[in-house]
Chain A
Amino acid sequence: MTKFFTAAIALLLLALPAHAGFDDAINAATAPIASAVGAIVFFKIPVFGAQLPLVVLWLVIGAVFFTFYMGFVNVRGFKHAIQLVRGDYADPESPGEVSHFQALATAVSGTVGIGNIGGVAVAVTIGGAGATFWLIVAGFLGMSTKFVECTLGVKYRQENPDGSVSGGPMYYMKKGFEERGMAGFGKFMGTFYAIGIFIGALGIGNMFQSNQAYVQLNTVAGGALDGLGWLVGLILAAVVFAVIIGGIKSIARVTEKVVPFMAIFYCLFAIIVILMNFTSIPAAIGNIFAGAFTGAGVQGGAIGALIIGFQRAVFSNESGIGSASIAHAAVRTPEPVTEGYVSLLEPFIDTIVICTITALVIGTSQVADPNFANGATGVAMTSAAFERQISWFPLPLAFGALLFAFSTMISWSYYGLKGWTYLFGEGQMGQTIYKLIFCGFVALGCMVQLGPILDISDALVFLICVPNILGLYFLAPIVKREMVSYMARLDSGEIKKYNH
C-alpha cells in the first residue's frame, strides 16, 4: 500500500509542470466558479446601506429563536455542562464507553481550526474591530443552536449492525420527521443535508484549511514557497491520504492528542502578547464596542460589522451547520439532552474564548501600529501581530496552524464520509472514491488564492445550514420536551450525581 501511493505521488509530481504558472492557472480557473457559487448562496438584500446575505440572516434568526425558545439554555445550562464534562453524572456501571469529555474534545478539535487564527483576521480586516463584538454575540447565540442539533444527533443516531454508531443531521431529519408523521419530507431533508455535507466538507474543512496552512508555512519560509503551493498541497494531501485511505491511524491519534495542547499553548502566548500590548488594551476594547455600534470606516457601518462577525463566527464554530452533531452522536448516554448541554461549551471555547483572544491580539497590535501587518490578511496578519512582540513565534504558529488544519481536515473527512455513506451505503469502493476526492481538494486548496477559497467554502457551508436549521425548527419541540423532563428529574434528585 505504502509503495503504491509513493509511486502514485511520484508520478503526479513528474506530470505536473514545476513552475509558478501552474498555481496561477488553477487560480484563474477557479475564481469565476467561486464568484458564481457565492452569488447564488449569498443572495444579498440591501439593509440600511449594507448588503445582508440572506443566509446570514437565516442563521441569526435561528440562533436567536433557539436561545429564547430554550429559555436561555446557553446561560442556564452552562454550569451543568461543566459538571457533565467533569464526569459528575457518569454512570459508574459502564466505564469504557465514549464519555462526554471525549465527545466534546473530538468535536472541539474538529472546530478549532485555522478559522480561529486566520478567520478572525479576515473578520477584522473587512468588518473592522466592531466585527469582534458581533463575533462574540454570534458565538453566544450559537450555543443554543448547537444545543438543539447535538441533542437531536444523539437521540436519533443509528446503531449499525457492526456495533458502531452513525449520527448527525441526516439521521435526525429522517427519523425525527418520521416520528412527526412526515416521513417523506424527512427523507428529502436528510438527503439534501447529506449531499450538502459531503460537498461542503471539501471547503471549510478542507481547502480553506490547507490553503491557510500553506500561507503560514510560506510566511515562515520568507516566501521561499512562492508558487510552490502545488507541492505543499501534494505533501499535505499525501499525509491525509495516508491517514484516511492508508489507514495509518497513528498519525491521526497523535494529532488528536497534540491539538488540545497546541490550543492551550496558542491561547497562553496570545494572552502574553495581549499583556505585552497592555497600553493598547483599553483603546482596542473601545474600538470593538465603538465599531460594533457605529461601524466606523466599515462598508455598511454597524450592520456591515455585524454581518461579517456572524459570518466568521459560524464559519469557525459551525453552529447551525450540524457537522458537530455527527461527532457528538458517538457518546453513550441514556439522556440525549446531556450531550446537548455538553455541546454548548463548543462555541464557547471556540468563539467566545479562542476567537476573542485572537481578535484582541490583532486589535491591540493595530492600536499600537495601524500598519503592523503590511496589508496582510488571514493567518499572515495574525502571525504578524504575534511577531511584533515575540519574533520567533511565527514558527511555532505555523506548526500549530498546520496541526489545527490537519485535525480539522481529518474530522471533516469523516463528516463528509458520513454524508456519503448515508447516500450511497457503506460500500468500501464508494468510500475510497470519496476519500480520494477529498485528498484532491486538500492539494487544490494550496494552489488557489484565499479570496476564491473563502467564497466557495462559505457558500458550500452556508448551503447546508438551510436544510439543517429548517429541520431544527420542526424538531425543536422534541428537544424542549426532553430538556424540561430532564431538568425536572435533575431537580427532584431522580438523576443522581455520582461521587468519584
Chain B
Amino acid sequence: MSNSVLLAIDGSAGGERALQYAMERAKLGGAKLIVAYVIEWSQYSFNTPEENAERHKRREQEITRATDTIVEPAAKVLRAAGIECQSVVTHGPPAETLIKLANKYEVAQIVIGRRGQSGIKALLFGSVAGNLIQTSPVPVVVVP
C-alpha cells in the first residue's frame, strides 16, 4: 500500500487545520504528502469574448498566485518539519479533480479541511468535502 497522502488546501482556516493534522500524522508514519490546490473552474461556463481572449493569461496568473501564496508556503512548513512533499496546482471542479489527483498519485488517503459553510449555499452547491466522501476511491479524513 502506498504511503502517500493527498492534502487538499484552499487557503482557508480549515485548510490550515488540515495541514497541521496531516503534518502530525506524516511525522508519525513517515508518509509523503501531495499538497494540492484546485482552482475552481468549469469547462462549461459562459464567458464574454473578452474574458475568453484573456483566459490564457489569467490562467497563468491564477496558477502563480495560488502557488506563491498558498501552496508553496504550506510546502515550506512541511519541508521544514522534515516531511517529503510535492505540490500541485490545477484547475477544475474541486471534488472531481481531487479524485483524479488521488488516482494519479496513488495515494492511500485524502485529507481535507472542513469549510463549515452551512445553510442555503451548502444546500445548493454541496461542499467539496461532502462530495469527496461520497465519491472518493480512498478513505477521506475531514478535519473539523
Q: Which residues of A line the B interface, CB within 8 A?
A: 87, 90, 92, 95-99, 101-103, 105-106, 109-110, 162-166, 249, 252-253, 256-257, 259-260, 326-327, 329-332, 410-411, 414-415
Contact A110 B49 (CB under 8 A): yes
CA of A465 to CA of B143, assembled, Å: 61
| A97 touches which of B45, B53, B55 (Cβ 8 Å) | B55
Binds A, one of B1-9, B24-32, B36-44, B134-142: B36-44
CA of A132 to CA of B52, assembled, Å: 34
Contact B59 A411 (CB under 8 A): no
| A332 touches which of B56, B63, B100 (Cβ 8 Å) | B56
Contact A102 B43 (CB under 8 A): yes
Contact B91 A102 (CB under 8 A): no
Contact B90 A95 (CB under 8 A): yes
CA of A29 to CA of B59, assembled, Å: 49
**B48 within 8 Å of A by Cβ?**
yes
Residues of B within 8 A of A99 (CB): 43-44
Q: A95-B92, A414-B50 are in contact. Are A102 and B56 (CB under 8 A)?
A: no
Contact B46 A260 (CB under 8 A): yes
Interface residues on B, range: 20 to 34
Q: Which residue of A lies closest to B48 (CB)?
A: A252
Residues of A within 8 A of B56 (CB): 97-98, 163-165, 332
Q: A106-B47, A256-B48 are in contact. Are A95 and B91 (CB under 8 A)?
A: yes
Contact B43 A411 (CB under 8 A): no
- The minimal Cβ–Cβ distance linking B134 to chain A, given in whole angstroms, is 18
| B60 touches which of A102, A163, A166, A257 (Cβ 8 Å) | A163
**B68 within 8 Å of A by Cβ?**
no
Residues of A within 8 A of B50 (CB): 252, 414
Residues of A within 8 A of B51 (CB): 249, 253
A-B contact pairs, 26 of them (CB 8 A): A90-B43, A92-B100, A95-B91, A95-B97, A96-B62, A96-B90, A96-B92, A97-B56, A98-B47, A98-B52, A98-B55, A103-B52, A106-B46, A162-B57, A163-B57, A164-B53, A166-B53, A249-B48, A253-B48, A257-B46, A327-B52, A329-B53, A330-B55, A410-B48, A411-B49, A414-B49
What 4 A-B pairs are tightest by C-beta distance, nearest first?
A96-B91, A163-B57, A330-B52, A99-B43
| B43 touches which of A87, A106, A163 (Cβ 8 Å) | A87
Contact B59 A96 (CB under 8 A): yes
Residues of A within 8 A of B63 (CB): 96
Q: A95-B90, A96-B41 are in contact. Are A106 and B48 (CB under 8 A)?
A: yes
- The minimal Cβ–Cβ distance linking B105 to chain A, given in whole angstroms, is 14
CA of A410 to CA of B55, assembled, Å: 18
**A-contact bits for B105-133, CB 8 A (1 contact / 0 none):** 00000000000000000000000000000
- The minimal Cβ–Cβ distance linking A184 to chain B, given in whole angstroms, is 28
- The minimal Cβ–Cβ distance linking A238 to chain B, given in whole angstroms, is 19
Q: Which residue of A lies closest to B44 (CB)?
A: A101
Contact B46 A97 (CB under 8 A): no
Q: Which residues of B line the A interface, CB within 8 A?
A: 39, 41, 43-57, 59-60, 62-63, 90-92, 97, 100
CA of A102 to CA of B43, assembled, Å: 7
CA of A253 to CA of B56, assembled, Å: 18
Q: A95-B91, A95-B92 are in contact. Are A105 and B49 (CB under 8 A)?
A: no
CA of A165 to CA of B39, assembled, Å: 22
- Which of the listed residues B45, B53, B97 has the most CB atoms from chain A within 10 Å of its own CB? B53
CA of A260 to CA of B63, assembled, Å: 29
Contact A101 B43 (CB under 8 A): yes
Residues of A within 8 A of B59 (CB): 96-97
Q: A95-B92, A96-B62 are in contact. Are A102 and B53 (CB under 8 A)?
A: no
Q: Which residue of B lies closest to A244 (CB)?
A: B50
Contact B48 A102 (CB under 8 A): no
Q: Which residue of A lies closest to B89 (CB)?
A: A96
Contact B47 A102 (CB under 8 A): yes
| B57 touches which of A95, A109, A164, A252 (Cβ 8 Å) | A164
Q: Which residue of A lies closest to B52 (CB)?
A: A330
- The minimal Cβ–Cβ distance linking A329 to chain B, given in whole angstroms, is 8
Residues of A within 8 A of B90 (CB): 95-96
CA of A162 to CA of B58, assembled, Å: 11
Q: A96-B62, A163-B60 are in contact. Are A330 and B53 (CB under 8 A)?
A: yes
CA of A97 to CA of B91, assembled, Å: 9
Q: Which residue of B lies closest to A92 (CB)?
A: B100
Q: Which residue of B lies closest to A332 (CB)?
A: B56
Q: Which residue of B lies closest to A330 (CB)?
A: B52
CA of A258 to CA of B49, assembled, Å: 15
- The minimal Cβ–Cβ distance linking B63 to chain A, given in whole angstroms, is 8
Residues of B within 8 A of A90 (CB): 43
- The minimal Cβ–Cβ distance linking A160 to chain B, given in whole angstroms, is 9
Contact B46 A105 (CB under 8 A): yes
- The minimal Cβ–Cβ distance linking B56 to chain A, given in whole angstroms, is 6
Contact A332 B48 (CB under 8 A): no
- 11 A-B pairs besides A105-B46, A105-B47 with CB distance below 8 A are A95-B92, A96-B39, A96-B92, A98-B52, A163-B57, A164-B53, A165-B53, A249-B48, A253-B48, A327-B52, A330-B53
Contact B41 A95 (CB under 8 A): yes
CA of A260 to CA of B41, assembled, Å: 19
Residues of B within 8 A of A326 (CB): 49
Q: Which residue of B lies closest to A243 (CB)?
A: B48
Residues of A within 8 A of B52 (CB): 98, 102-103, 106, 327, 330-331
- The minimal Cβ–Cβ distance linking B89 to chain A, given in whole angstroms, is 10
Contact A109 B91 (CB under 8 A): no
Q: Which residue of A lies closest to B60 (CB)?
A: A163
Residues of B within 8 A of A253 (CB): 47-48, 51
Contact B55 A414 (CB under 8 A): no
CA of A99 to CA of B46, assembled, Å: 10
